[in-house]
């Protein structure tokens, strides 16, 4: 994977960018990473704030609702070191047991013509977690970069805030929103990107209820459908 901030051919590279969310997008929700993470977050709240478990769960939910990320509430309202939190929550997940190389996903990504589009990761996780997941999936070499949520800055910038999408554009070296393509499983992330003019795809996995109103023009059940939606990016054979 390339470095986050620099583009070797930035001046001449006019390729559009296809941004991929990572968690619950490049691996299925059924992997239950989210549930495991929620348990670790509850435990972190209980241990570091000295709360009974029931109160920890309530506060975790409250911060998630108010800020989109539990860590933001911890940093705003308590003297919590966000990188200690990352080490004890995201980096403590037993992902090696859960996430395995995905040959089908690798084939899909390899069928994309990278002379026509740049592949970039865009996650609300910290860099360590994001890199670990794509390495375990066996696809880390197929992306040119990663824009992540930097827990060490305050205020924390993350999707769906427009600043996070602006940061991703800057890091991926793309200037016009019409050159941005995006896939994510989060309704609010997709809705926000679509409003900014990105061509956005909402992944609603098979078995999950579809929203009453679509988050964006495109809604898919599987990443394979990207072949149909964006045929211009795939190698012809």
**What is the footprint of Mg ion within residues 157-186 (CB under 5 A)?**
185
Decide: 125 and 22 in contact? Cβ < 8 Å: yes
Report the nearest approach of Mg ion to the CB of residue 44 (Å). Answer: 20
Decide: 108 and 224 in contact? Cβ < 8 Å: yes
Q: Give me 44's structure tokens.
A: 């972190």
Report the nearest approach of Mg ion to the CB of residue 37 (Å). Answer: 12
**What is the footprint of Mg ion within residues 3-22 (CB under 5 A)?**
21
Q: CA-based diameter of the chain, in Å?
A: 60
Report the nearest approach of Mg ion to the CB of residue 25 (Å). Answer: 5
- Cα separation, 124 vs 193, in Å, equals 14
- Choosing from 24, 86, 102, 147, the residue that interacts with Mg ion (CB under 5 A) is 24
Q: Give me 111's structure tokens.
A: 């069928």
- Cα separation, 230 vs 207, in Å, equals 24
β-partners of residue 202 are: 184, 219
- Choosing from 1, 17, 18, 25, the residue that interacts with Mg ion (CB under 5 A) is 25
- Cα separation, 167 vs 219, in Å, equals 25
Report the nearest approach of Mg ion to the CB of residue 210 (Å). Answer: 17
**90 near Mg ion, rule: CB under 5 A:** no
Give 24 or 42: the residue with its C-beta nearer to Mg ion. 24
**191 near Mg ion, rule: CB under 5 A:** no
Stretch that binds Mg ion, among 8-16, 24-32, 108-116, 171-179 (CB under 5 A): 24-32
Binding positions for Mg ion, rule: CB under 5 A:
21, 23-25, 185
């Amino acid at each position: 994977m390339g470095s986050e901030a620099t583009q070797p051919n930035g001046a001449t590279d006019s390729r559009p960018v296809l941004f991929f969310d990572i968690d619950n997008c490049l691996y299925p929700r059924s992997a239950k990473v989210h549930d495991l993470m929620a348990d670790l977050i509850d435990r972190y709240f209980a241990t570091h704030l000295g709360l009974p478990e029931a109160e920890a769960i309530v506060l975790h939910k409250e911060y998630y609702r108010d800020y989109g990320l539990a860590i933001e509430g911890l940093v705003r309202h308590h003297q919590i070191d966000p990188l200690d939190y990352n080490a004890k929550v995201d980096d403590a997940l037993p992902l090696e047991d859960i996430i395995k190389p995905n040959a089908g996903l690798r084939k899909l990504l390899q069928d994309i013509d990278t002379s026509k589009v740049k592949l970039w990761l865009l996650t609300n996780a910290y860099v360590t977690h994001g890199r670990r997941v794509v390495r375990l999936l066996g696809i880390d070499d197929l992306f040119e970069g990663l824009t992540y949520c930097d827990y060490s800055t305050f205020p924390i910038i993350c999707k769906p805030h427009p600043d996070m999408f602006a940061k991703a554009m800057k890091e991926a070296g793309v200037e016009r929103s019409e050159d941005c393509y995006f896939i994510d499983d989060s309704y609010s992330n997709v809705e926000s990107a679509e409003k900014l003019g990105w061509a956005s795809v909402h992944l609603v996995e098979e078995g999950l209820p579809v929203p009453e109103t679509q988050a964006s023009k495109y809604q898919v059940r599987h990443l394979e459908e990207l072949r149909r939606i964006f045929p211009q990016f795939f190698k012809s054979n």
